[in-house]
Structure 1
Amino acid sequence: MPPVRSRDGTPIASRRSGDGPPLVLVHGTASDHSRWAPVLPALEQRWSVHAVDRRGRGSSGDSGDSGDAATYAPEREFEDVTAVADALGEPVTVFGHSYGALCTLEAARLSHSIATLILYEPSFDTDGAEVYPLEVVERLETLLLAGDRDEVVATTAREVAGVPPDAVAAFRRSQPTAWRARTAAAHTIPRELRAAKTYRFDPERFRDLAVPTLLLAGSESPRAYRRATEAVDGALPGSRIVVLPGQGHTAMDTAPDLVTSEVIRFLGARS
């Protein structure tokens, strides 16, 4: 798809496949549009899927001259998702994962086109439950300054997403193209993690967001992700949680059929 210009002029790219009503996919930190590859075959049979490259990744641009942490503001990401959704010219469903789910949730307050939401474990701290300690972010920044982009990505997977070390190693071996794309965008990881740490979820801002919403949560995910999901569910008037049994924060990889079956069930009930 031709890139869409966000509010600040940044070009935001997406890859389109399939045919049917529009479904926008918004990946999380340390990913790009390719993170949806395991679930894409099932989704594109039913929807026109638009897998976004968030700013700083793939074919998308970045803010400022260098796109570094000094010029980064998460609000621009909210506007990016809004721009992609509104450019489609019809009601859309947006499926966001992790930090992408947070961007999607905030975009739903800005967009006139987002009619349905699917949010898989939005990434933000709640009272008494932090997704990751600040020390992890500082360590990632040190690794980035040292030029060790590979370890920035690996550490994020292990210590932020909770992916077992052997699964991280297997991903690195089996999907070298996707791994290289993630290391190329490693500079975006610490800035997003810092932004998520400073984000404060205010339920009152979402009381009137009457958008049907499916909240996905892994039964084995870290407690902080479950708490954040429950906080969103408590605020939205039209949401429900579906727990993915035996799964963690990345069920698109570990149980793609389970994820797609829940998406199909939810959206099928609304068609």
Structure 2
Amino acid sequence: MTSRDGTPIAYRRSGRGRPVIVVGGAFSTAESSATLAGLLDRRFDVITYDRRGRGASGDTAPYAVEREIEDLAALIAEAGGTASVCGVSSGAALALEAAAAGLPISQLAVYEPPYGSDAADLGAAGAYRERLAALLAADRRGDAVELFLSRAGTPPEAIAVMRQAPVWHAMTALAHTLAYDDAVMGTGLVPTERLRVTRTRAMVTEGGCSPAPLRWAAKAVADALPRGRHRTLTGQTHEVTPQVLAPVLEDFFAA
């Protein structure tokens, strides 16, 4: 599929029924969402895709969040003109931005958009953005990945193990898109005023075992959305299990 600015966007489509588009977060591609798609496509027409700069999709400079919203708009048009959307992590923030921009999203489900809550979070987000830009400009892709993982709370010993694993190559290949996810997050704080203009029926979910800031952010997003509801998935963390998330999405999207 070709987006509005001419960028090719690769996607996968499976199943039958009402269309559902899955928007992944950092380091994700269509393949990353394959398990979730396989659980949902028994009842829905599921579209997963490589966000621009990832996988088989193109990457037209300069990057802008508006271009990613246009990518999602093109996918919705491909799906028939309207679709439900599920966003995870920074993909949830992108889905929220798309809904606030007025895209024809019939129902919106987001899992743990990683917003902050106060001035300290705002300062940390600014420092991260500056450091990330410097590392990417110097082509220090591995260090950029490590910076992101450290900010997300990954212990240093775990990062050291990951650096020796096959997954590290895939992550460093997508390091430049960390700047895209950061741009999607805006200031890094919950965009309360922007969310209040959203009229889409929405569900915001969180993991019961996730860190308190992520859980707070999910509740704040749900409270800001005029038609938002909030739900906690017991025993889940930020790396939500598809087999747990899928039935919740199925019930919500089928209503």
Which residue does 1:68 correspond to in 2? Answer: none
Higher mean C-alpha deviation, range 118-127 or range 137-146: 137-146
Cα distance change on mapping 1:179 and 1:92 into 2, 3 Å: farther
Identity of paired residues, percent? 36
Give a deviation string over 1:166-195, Cα, whole Å, max 9, x none: 49957984xx4x654432221121343255
Q: Which amino acid aligns with 2:45?
A: S
1-side partners of 2:164 and 2:9: how far apart?
26
Asked whether 1:81 is paired with 2:81, we answer: no
Cα distance change on mapping 1:41 and 1:229 into 2, 3 Å: same
Q: Which amino acid aligns with 1:4?
A: T
Asked whether 1:261 is paired with 2:251, we answer: no
Pick one of 21, 33, 48 that aligns with 1:24: 21
Higher mean C-alpha deviation, range 234-243 or range 37-46: 37-46
Q: Which amino acid aligns with 2:221?
A: V
Asked whether 1:228 is paired with 2:217, we answer: yes
1-side partners of 2:218 and 2:149: how far apart?
20
1-side partners of 2:239 and 2:120: how far apart?
19
TM-score, structure 1 normalization: 0.79
Which residue does 1:5 correspond to in 2? Answer: 3
Cα distance change on mapping 1:196 and 1:203 into 2, 3 Å: closer
State how many pairs are aligned.
253
Higher mean C-alpha deviation, range 118-127 or range 133-142: 133-142
2-side partners of 1:170 and 1:129: how far apart?
29
1-side partners of 2:160 and 2:48: how far apart?
23
Structure 1 residue 120 displacement after superposition: 0.9
- RMSD between superposed Cα atoms in Å: 2.9
TM-score, structure 2 normalization: 0.83
2-side partners of 1:223 and 1:11: how far apart?
38
Q: Contact 2:84/2:106 (CA < 8 Å) preserved in 1?
A: yes
Structure 1 residue 140 displacement after superposition: 4.0
Stretches of structure 2 that go unaligned for 5 or more consecutive residues are none
Q: Which amino acid aligns with 2:95?
A: T
Which residue does 1:153 correspond to in 2? Answer: 145
Structure 1 residue 26 displacement after superposition: 0.6
Asked whether 1:212 is paired with 2:201, we answer: yes
Structure 1 residue 111 displacement after superposition: 4.5
Q: Which amino acid aligns with 2:211?
A: P
Stretches of structure 1 that go unaligned for 5 or more consecutive residues are 65-70
Q: Which amino acid aligns with 2:145?
A: V
Structure 1 residue 200 displacement after superposition: 5.6
Which residue does 1:125 correspond to in 2? Answer: 116
Within a 5 Å distance, the mapping from 1:92-103 to structure 2 comes to: 92-103=83-94
1-side partners of 2:6 and 2:188: how far apart?
24
